[in-house]
Structure 1
Amino acid sequence: ARELCSPAVTLERRAYGDVWLRDTGPLVRADGSALRCQFNGWGEKYLMDGDQAIGAELARDAGLPVVEGDWILEGGAIDGDGTGLVVTTEQCLLNPNRNPLLSRADIEQHLAADLGFDRVLWLGDGLINDHTDGHVDNLARFVGPNRLTLPRATGPDDPNAAIYADAKNRALEFGVELAEIPSPGLVTRGDMIEPASYANFAITSHLVVVPTFGSVHDDDAVAAIAKLFPDRETIGLPADAVLAGGGGFHCASQQMPRLGN
């Protein structure tokens, strides 16, 4: 790994179970503290040693005070616009395998109290065969205040066409501005439909990294996302190996403040 990375990259060896730091890593709040909610392996499907502790460990090593949340939440289940608006899916946050004793109103109260979100855009289902139970970062991402990007179906065999249409209707009814990007269409591994999505891009301080899948829509998607981030360079990188594990570049990353800032 050291040979493949530039000197600007700091490598740390950690003991944890899976690569999806978006879900197990700390959620850094505006006041500089780090929220670490409970984690149950995406509804007790994939419980691995270390995943429950890595978030608090990373936060403490960065010198951030840790606030322990008393409810189950993964970072990939939410996406905020920076003004107090958050988007999520009913399939995940209202799933009985996460917080069976919490109602929709209870969830909204937790989002407000723990993360400062005062408005919630509820979408329905996430992508087909998404083992996270429909994380929103594979479906909808905010690209500016009240501005949401969603995939649009590409062809009659797009397996998520109805999901995209429902999400679009809910978003428009809520009153957000939409910026659509292409869907990769039907992506399979053997006989299984993969939850492939260009919406699972990772945003860095100077770069946007878009997952690509060898689809005829790859170039159009990268170009569409580049228009949404004129202040950053946008590149596409092959994501087949990451997708085989069930996620994308956003799922496998978690932004942290620069030490000393």
Structure 2
Amino acid sequence: MPDSLSSAGASSFRSYRFPAEWEPCEAVWLAWPHNRDTWPGHFEPVPAAFAQFVRAIRESTPVRILATGLVAEDCRKHLQQIGLVESDSLRIVDVPTNDCWIRDYGPTFVFGPDAEKIAVDWRFNAWGGKYEPFDSDAAAGAEIAKIAGLKRLDGGLTMEGGALETDGAGRLLVNPGCLIDPARNPGVSKEQVSQRLNQCLGVEEIVWVDGGAPAGDDTDGHIDQIARFLNRENVVCAVASSEDDENYPGLEANYRKLRLWSRQTEPAVTIHRLPTPPPRKVDGAAVPQSYCNFLRLGMDRMLVPTFRSTASDRHALALLRELCPGVEVVGVDCFDIAWGLGALHCASCHEPAIARSPAAESSGG
């Protein structure tokens, strides 16, 4: 049976390691979309688009989908329409949710002493109390740990999984806007946040990327829309496609910050510009669209959101293929999903398979 580890149980950061997303993957956890308020007036095409996302994952990796009652029935219906049925590699798990953004309320998986896999369960309050209700989402991390048969570590901070990006060897990219936030962690300092991240994730170098997030972002700047490791030597950073884009100043500031850091860190890192699609609005509201919101499925596969912006989509896929030789880079249409203010990485929670040493997994592509 899974146990719960107290804060004291994470007293030494050397006991834990936060693996990179390109390390072997046990399964991907999803939550079936059902909250129409997430896509006001535009929900109808979302389940079918999500089913295609499930299919893309399922081609190489087991999938676990949180859904209950009528939501589970809707999930089965849409999967069956594209020829997918439940099996050992495609399971619908009876857990309720409020929304589909499981990256943010699902656990962060780490490896502890003796390579034991542990689920770090952060406290979740819907991105600083922006959306009610969030009770089911807040409870889902513990439920996933229980179903997976893993020990659970209380993260001790109110935050979301999309705020974290690691190379699996002790380096972490984060944006302070979604961590040092009075709506999430009132009275908690940057130093205290750093200490807790060190304790729970085993990170030794934290890079605070604080330039800005894409317009329309409601997370206060999750890093998974801004910058991602491809491997220990390469990072892609979202930049605006033109200087006229309102995102240009903030995203350029992120790029400059990362370039400065890349000259100081070891091993050395190259920062690559990954242009976003042209700005898009739905009913007058900006839609955050970033190719950084990709999902790695182990060493040899990557699912990349596309946005029906032909030239931009082609450029992003070509660049990622060039930077990740030997990795199958697959585009997944997120035009409809993105109106909910997230894409593939936001809507997934990957569970690593086994502990590997950082040296063994140093070349993720």
Q: Distance in 1 between matches of 2:233 and 2:145?
A: 29
- 1:36: which partner in 2? 121
Residue 164 of structure 1: CA displacement? 1.6
Per-residue CA shift, 1:210-233, capped at 9, x if unaligned? 111111311111111222332321
Q: What are the ranges of 5 or more consecutive residues in structure 1 without an aligned counterpart?
A: none
Q: Distance in 1 between matches of 2:151 and 2:341?
A: 31
- 1:9: which partner in 2? 90
- 2:340: which partner in 1? 245
Residue 146 of structure 1: CA displacement? 4.6
- 1:60: which partner in 2? 146
Between 1 and 2, higher relative CO (CA 8 Å, sep ≥ 6) is seen in: 2
Q: Distance in 2 between matches of 1:190 and 1:237?
A: 24
Q: Percent identity?
A: 32
Q: Distance in 2 between matches of 1:43 and 1:146?
A: 33
Q: Distance in 2 between matches of 1:241 and 1:116?
A: 37
SS for the counterpart of 2:330 is: strand
Q: Does 1:225 align with 2:311?
A: no
Call closer, same or farther: CA 1:71–1:83 in 2, change over 3 Å.
Answer: same
Call closer, same or farther: CA 1:193–1:157 in 2, change over 3 Å.
Answer: farther
Residue 171 of structure 1: CA displacement? 0.7
- 1:147: which partner in 2? 234
Count of matched residue pairs: 260
Q: Distance in 1 between matches of 2:188 and 2:101?
A: 25
Query: Which deviates further from its counterpart, 31-40 or 125-134?
Result: 125-134
Amino acid in the other structure paired with 1:66: R
Q: Distance in 2 between matches of 1:220 and 1:29?
A: 34
Which structure would you say has the larger Rg?
A: 2
Query: Which deviates further from its counterpart, 20-29 or 120-129?
Result: 120-129
Residue 91 of structure 1: CA displacement? 1.8
Q: Which has the higher helix share?
A: 2
CA RMSD of superposed structures (Å): 1.8
Amino acid in the other structure paired with 2:173: V
Residue 258 of structure 1: CA displacement? 4.7
- 1:161: which partner in 2? 248
SS for the counterpart of 1:240 is: coil
Per-residue CA shift, 1:2-32, capped at 9, x if unaligned? 4133654223232111111111111110221
Residues 23 and 76, structure 1, Cα contact 8 Å, conserved in 2: yes
1:29-108 → structure 2 map (5 Å cutoff): 29-31=110-112, 32-47=117-132, 48-108=134-194
Q: What are the ranges of 5 or more consecutive residues in structure 2 without an aligned counterpart?
A: 1-75, 263-268, 355-365
Q: Distance in 2 between matches of 1:211 and 1:46?
A: 25
Per the normalisation by structure 1, the TM-score is 0.93
Q: Does 1:27 align with 2:108?
A: yes
- 1:178: which partner in 2? 271
Query: Which deviates further from its counterpart, 152-161 or 168-177?
Result: 152-161
Per the normalisation by structure 2, the TM-score is 0.68
